[in-house]
Amino acid sequence: MAIYASTSCLKNPKNVINVLKEYEKASIKNVELGSIHEHFDVQDLKKFSFNFLIHNYFPPPKNAFNFNLASQNPTIRSSSIKLAKKAMDLCRKIGAPLYTFHAGFTVDPPRLGKPFPRDNIPKREDSLRIYNESLSELIDYSQSSGIKIAMEPNVVQKFNLINNENKLCLFANFDEMKFLKNYFEKAKLGILLDLGHTAVTAHWLNFDKDEFVEQCRKWVYAIHVSQNNGKADQHRSLTKNSWQVSKLKSFKKVPIILETMNLHSNEIRKNISLVNKILD
């Protein structure tokens, strides 16, 4: 299976067209359109002949908001569903076979990667119910459009723990993911397994990261891989002896997506080369 580079990998990635031009120069052919770009005219994607996948907050809307399919705010939830459907429509237009998206949150974070609000946290079962309703709608849409979809389990970092408990991020451990088992078993939904997330969340929630990977294995549609110190989601460049890289041989048949950040195109190519050597 091909190795993909997220458009989030490159330094200064806000303008996705500039990123794609750099990838074209570097002969990077397999690209995941990522979640940290500013609004642009999607017609410009027709200028490129990459093998595309689409991830989460893409295409970026004119009016920015924080994507949350479990939101208690009807406007945010509705906007999140609409964006996901637009992503699937775009998948069809550019020949991308897979759309992946984040698991939801009990609260609406003003910004990912920073501490979430702690006030008025809804009941977890209410957030799970809302997420399930959103997901059911997206699954129906994906089935009618012929686009595969996969959910990325959340990362739990120290700054989002409350009394050492995860009250803010849904679907971070396998016990909660069993809530979606029926969708997984019927192949209506897959998992985007982020190995960087797994290493960090396993540390803070005190579970076995190898066991988590094994539990998810049969439902994995794609892999995200980046390096970190095991305590924070740092999106660093890969090294051959890292735990994340050691897991890649088990997933040769699904897209493996490099999601490192702040790299130059030659560094991205080195990371892709490293993954290819590991798989060989």
Domains for the chain: give ranges and CATH numbers: 3-279 (3.20.20.150)
CA distance 130 to 77: 9
Q: Residue 234 corresponds to which tokens in the numbers above?
A: 């740092």
Residue 280 has a pLDDT of 87
Position 280: which residue type? D
Residue 136 has a pLDDT of 97
CA distance 4 to 185: 26
Residue 113 has a pLDDT of 73
Q: Which helix (H) or strand (E) holds 132?
A: helix 124-145
Residue 106 has a pLDDT of 97
Residue 117 has a pLDDT of 81
Contact 180, 128 (CB under 8 A): no
104, 37, 99, 103: which is closest to 64 by C-alpha? Answer: 37
Cis bond upstream, residue 59 (ω within 30):
yes
Q: Which residues of the chain have a pLDDT value below 50?
A: none
CA distance 167 to 119: 11
Plot region of 187 (φ>0 → left; ψ -120 to 50 → alpha; else → beta): left
Residue 191 has a pLDDT of 98
CA distance 146 to 166: 35
Residue with the two structure tokens 């920015």: 64
Q: Residue 268 corresponds to which tokens in the numbers above?
A: 């991205």
Residue 110 has a pLDDT of 82
Contact 246, 174 (CB under 8 A): no
Contact 54, 33 (CB under 8 A): yes
Residue with the two structure tokens 């991830």: 55
